[in-house]
């Protein structure tokens, strides 16, 4: 009995069947499925347990805003916690585990917490663990640590690679729904350099989720056709599976491309993910909108989900959560779900619409002016209780319930530079602020244009406005005919009198907690968030914030815009730390510098030490030596008694030339160089402005206007920087040129009584190395070799 909840149609490939496991049990899905859609197809509604009360939870959404269906994906070192089943692409061999349970998902011992919910309200920790103080470290903290968090990690090194990259464009389009596609078509055909990025693996946004969004063709077909055209344009880069994480300064955006997350294992040499830095002249946010739930008693049971998500599951993935479905809505959009499910052969228990003037249907029952006041079913929804306009209550059996409380524009990126969202009374939602990131425009549902026709038009219109700003010839694109019916809505946030009605399902924040927060005077939105944890966690309150604000507004006698909203910061969705680290980890954390004798030293079995980024041969063990002192003592004695050589290329070397070279060195060293003879070397001490020693080294005079100075290994970069500062910023008219030659010259110290003898073996006989000719601090240049003689090593 597999995939009993699979419907007809959809955009899955039924010819490709994929095996996967959830909590050890095997299931089958199809290519094109997400983990969530495949589980629903197999009639799995219970997908996790909640954070605090360990309540049974199912999937709420069909996208990245998912608070409940978060799982551990894969095994072993690749195990990843808190992965949203709604965005995880199904692949053959996928294994997933539910999290946040003790025992099995069906019988979670921690579910006892739900019985003590009266104690575990907002502020529970602050109030309970106050005393005795000595208990904190030994008793309370270990218990809390054990209970805290959601998924678990493997504690093994991540075996995958993460890459980074840099992209440039005239226009970055964020989101490839109707508005994003219309904008990309407009700007792409006009010849602008366009990047179109979407977090989904199939572009099209809601076009893929609707049956009748376009009048004369399917939305999904138009999206596919448009994406194909865009992909063929050399000036357009189409990036699916790519989330724009944040808006940074001066048109820079962070983008995470999931290159291999849809594969069991990345291809050899390929990264798992790439963090792109996108340099854009302009950007257009087409991120769409997120549906809002409605709070009522026990609204968190598996099977209760957003109505729009239900429609996505039915139309895109050909899946229904149950074969008998009810809808609870405050707007016309909820009715669309009922119509689509009905057309797909799902029986509609009823559409419960809070509005007295709700549109009626000939196909199924509509309860106008009704409200869902409670739900039943231990591990999944079995029935709902509906209060009727006449005051009676009616029980309605159903296996799933779709909620629609209206839609919130996805304006997150517009707040990344601290812009405060603006309330729009017409759609009862926060809309983009005027002071969003410079260069960022907004189109489509993210701007509050909720119909497909509006979204298409607004995408094209914004793109043309941007083209005009960029001085690129505008382009009129013929857009497909699309549905344009306004989704009439009456704001409705929660059912009066409810208490254990969930606002934030991930953090277990209920209407009661918001009331408690108000009672205890945490009424500012920022305090409300922190006291109750409303809007925290992996979903950052994408589905929950508005309900909390609306209730706080009511309790304080203010309007929602007066209460205000918390704003958003990057990343838009959870991002693996590995992606931020990119290549910079392990031995690749920073470059390794090797001396010219490195390969030779390796062959001699040298033991290396890291000095800054350099690897320096520290000693050369010989057969029979078991302790480093034996090797070092032998080397020291050999040098003292005969001769020793040392690769000191790591010392910094700077070529200083120009008519004022000596004057310049006089200024930056505390000792003088003007009188140093050509062919001589002098020790130099460099001080900071406050007299503290900065560095020391030698300066050799090769000519009147030419010195080579050395620095210590560690300070080579900072001394060069300091000298450039002095040259450019302090004495800009001195004739002096600086070139670092650390890399260009190998440098060896030759020491010991036989040093001269050794040199004579290497240097041709016509070169006089006698003490008279080559005295202390003397300097000779011979072909491409320079010799200095100094007393300090």
Residues that bind other proteins (CB under 8 A): 161, 163-168, 193, 248-252, 268-271, 274, 277, 279, 417, 583, 588, 590-596, 598-599, 613-614, 649, 655, 657-660, 663, 688-690, 706, 721, 724-725, 728-735, 737, 739, 741-745, 762, 764, 784
Among 423, 424, 444, 420, CA closest to 434: 420
Q: Provide the b/e sequence for 309-342 (b: ≥16 CB within 10 Å).
A: bbbbbbbbbbbbbbbbbbbbbbbbbbbbbbbbbb
CB of 699 to other proteins, least distance (A): 16
Q: How far is CA 347 from the centre of its chain?
A: 40
* 469 CB burial (10 A radius; 0-12, 13-18, 19+): middle
Nearest to other proteins of 129, 745 (CB atom): 745
Specify whether the CB–CB gap between 173 and 451 falls below 8 A.
Answer: no
Token pair of 103, please? 């025992």
CB of 530 to other proteins, least distance (A): 24
Q: Using omega within 30 degrees of 0 as the cis cutoff, is the peptide bond preceding 132 cis?
A: yes
CB of 88 to other proteins, least distance (A): 23
Nearest to other proteins of 229, 655 (CB atom): 655
The C-alpha atoms of residue 514 and residue 529 are separated, in whole angstroms, by 9
Token pair of 15, please? 């010819």
Nearest to other proteins of 141, 743 (CB atom): 743
Token pair of 90, please? 């199904």
Q: What is residue 720's three-state secondary structure? A: helix
Token pair 């019988």 in the structure block, residue: 107
Among 308, 300, 210, CA closest to 503: 300
Nearest to other proteins of 464, 742 (CB atom): 742
* 365 CB burial (10 A radius; 0-12, 13-18, 19+): middle
The C-alpha atoms of residue 542 and residue 61 are separated, in whole angstroms, by 11
The C-alpha atoms of residue 105 and residue 108 are separated, in whole angstroms, by 6
Token pair of 658, please? 């120009």
CB of 37 to other proteins, least distance (A): 30
- Please state at what angle helix 511-519 crosses helix 525-532, rounded to 10 degrees: 120
The C-alpha atoms of residue 438 and residue 440 are separated, in whole angstroms, by 6
Nearest to other proteins of 390, 766 (CB atom): 766
Nearest to other proteins of 271, 644 (CB atom): 271
CB of 742 to other proteins, least distance (A): 8
Nearest to other proteins of 85, 719 (CB atom): 719
CB of 199 to other proteins, least distance (A): 21
Residue 347 DSSP code: E
Nearest to other proteins of 536, 759 (CB atom): 759
The C-alpha atoms of residue 118 and residue 618 are separated, in whole angstroms, by 66
> For the chain, how far is it from start to end, CA to CA, in angstroms?
82
Nearest to other proteins of 101, 653 (CB atom): 653
CB of 269 to other proteins, least distance (A): 3
Nearest to other proteins of 224, 687 (CB atom): 687
CB of 68 to other proteins, least distance (A): 35
Nearest to other proteins of 98, 649 (CB atom): 649
CB of 592 to other proteins, least distance (A): 5
CB of 737 to other proteins, least distance (A): 4
The C-alpha atoms of residue 524 and residue 538 are separated, in whole angstroms, by 22
Nearest to other proteins of 259, 463 (CB atom): 259
CA angle 569, 570, 571 (to 5 degrees): 140
Among 179, 223, 102, CA closest to 464: 179
Q: Using omega within 30 degrees of 0 as the cis cutoff, is the peptide bond preceding 405 cis?
A: no
């Amino acid at each position: 009995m597999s995939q009993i909840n699979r419907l007809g149609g959809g955009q899955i490939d039924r010819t490709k069947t994929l095996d996967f496991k959830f909590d050890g049990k095997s299931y089958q899905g199809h290519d094109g499925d997400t983990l969530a859609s495949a589980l629903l197809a197999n009639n799995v509604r219970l997908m996790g347990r909640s954070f605090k009360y360990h309540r049974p939870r199912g999937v709420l959404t069909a996208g990245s805003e998912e608070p409940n269906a978060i799982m551990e994906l894969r095994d072993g070192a690749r195990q990843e916690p808190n992965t949203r089943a709604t965005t995880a692409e199904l692949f053959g061999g996928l294994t997933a585990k539910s999290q946040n349970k003790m025992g099995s998902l069906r019988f979670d011992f921690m579910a006892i917490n739900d019985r003590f919910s009266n104690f575990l309200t907002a502020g529970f920790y602050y109030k309970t663990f106050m005393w005795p103080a000595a208990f904190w470290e030994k008793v309370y903290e270990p218990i809390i640590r054990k209970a805290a968090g959601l998924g678990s990690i493997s504690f093994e090194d991540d075996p995958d690679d993460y890459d980074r990259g840099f992209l440039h464009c005239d226009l970055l389009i964020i989101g490839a729904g109707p508005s994003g596609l219309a904008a990309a078509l407009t700007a792409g055909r006009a010849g602008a350099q366009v990047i179109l990025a979407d977090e989904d693996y199939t572009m099209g946004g809601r076009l893929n989720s609707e049956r009748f969004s376009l009048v004369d063709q399917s939305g999904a077909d138009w999206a596919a056709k448009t994406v194909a055209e865009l992909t063929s344009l050399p000036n357009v880069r189409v990036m699916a599976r790519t989330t724009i994480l944040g808006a940074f300064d001066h048109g820079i955006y962070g983008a995470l491309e999931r290159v291999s997350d849809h594969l069991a294992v990345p291809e050899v040499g390929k990264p798992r993910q790439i963090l792109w830095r996108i340099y854009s002249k302009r950007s257009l946010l087409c991120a769409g909108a997120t549906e809002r739930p409605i709070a009522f008693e026990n609204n968190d049971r598996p099977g209760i989900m957003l109505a729009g998500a239900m429609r996505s599951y039915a139309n895109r993935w050909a899946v229904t959560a149950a074969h008998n479905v009810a809808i609870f809505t405050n707007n016309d959009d909820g009715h669309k779900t009922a119509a689509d499910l009905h057309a797909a052969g799902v029986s509609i228990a009823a559409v419960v619409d809070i509005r007295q003037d709700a549109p009626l249907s000939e196909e199924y029952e509509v309860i106008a002016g009704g409200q869902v006041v409670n739900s039943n079913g231990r591990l999944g929804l079995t029935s709902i209780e509906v209060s009727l306009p006449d005051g009676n209550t009616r029980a309605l059996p159903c296996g799933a319930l779709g909620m629609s409380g209206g839609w919130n524009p996805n304006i997150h990126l517009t707040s990344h530079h601290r812009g405060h969202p603006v309330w729009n009374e017409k759609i009862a939602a926060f809309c983009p602020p005027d002071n969003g990131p410079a260069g960022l425009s907004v189109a489509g549902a993210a701007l509050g244009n909720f119909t497909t026709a509006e979204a298409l038009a607004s995408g094209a219109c914004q793109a043309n406005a941007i083209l005009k700003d960029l001085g690129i010839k505008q382009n009129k694109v013929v857009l497909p005919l699309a549905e344009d019916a306004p989704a009439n809505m009456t704001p409705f946030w929660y059912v009066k009198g409810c208490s254990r009605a969930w606002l934030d399902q991930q953090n277990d924040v209920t209407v009661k907690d918001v009331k408690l927060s108000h009672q205890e005077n945490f009424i500012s939105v920022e305090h409300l968030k922190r006291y109750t944890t409303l809007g925290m966690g992996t979903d950052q309150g994408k589905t929950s914030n508005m309900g909390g604000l609306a209730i706080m507004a009511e309790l304080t006698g203010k309007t929602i815009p007066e209460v205000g909203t918390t704003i958003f910061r990057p990343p838009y969705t959870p991002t693996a730390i590995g992606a931020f680290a990119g290549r910079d980890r392990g031995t690749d954390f920073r470059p390794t510098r090797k001396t010219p004798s490195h390969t030779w030293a390796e062959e001699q079995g040298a033991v290396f030490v890291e000095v800054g980024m350099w690897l320096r041969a520290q000693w050369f063990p010989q057969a029979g030596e078991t302790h480093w002192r034996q090797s070092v003592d032998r080397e020291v004695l050999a040098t003292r008694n005969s001769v020793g050589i040392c690769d000191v290329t790591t010392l910094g070397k700077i070529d200083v030339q120009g008519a004022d070279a000596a004057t310049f060195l006089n200024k930056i060293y505390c000792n003088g160089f003007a009188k140093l003879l050509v062919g001589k070397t002098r020790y130099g001490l460099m001080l900071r402005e406050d007299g503290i020693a900065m560095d020391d080294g030698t300066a050799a005079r090769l000519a009147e206007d030419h010195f080579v100075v050395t620095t210590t290994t560690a300070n080579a970069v900072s001394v060069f920087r300091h000298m450039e500062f002095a040259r450019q910023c302090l004495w800009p008219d001195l004739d002096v040129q600086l070139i670092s030659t650390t890399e260009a010259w190998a440098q060896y110290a030759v020491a010991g009584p036989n040093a001269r003898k050794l040199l004579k073996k290497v240097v041709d006989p016509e070169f006089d190395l006698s003490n008279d000719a080559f005295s202390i601090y003397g300097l000779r240049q011979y072909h491409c070799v320079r010799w200095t003689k100094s007393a300090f090593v």
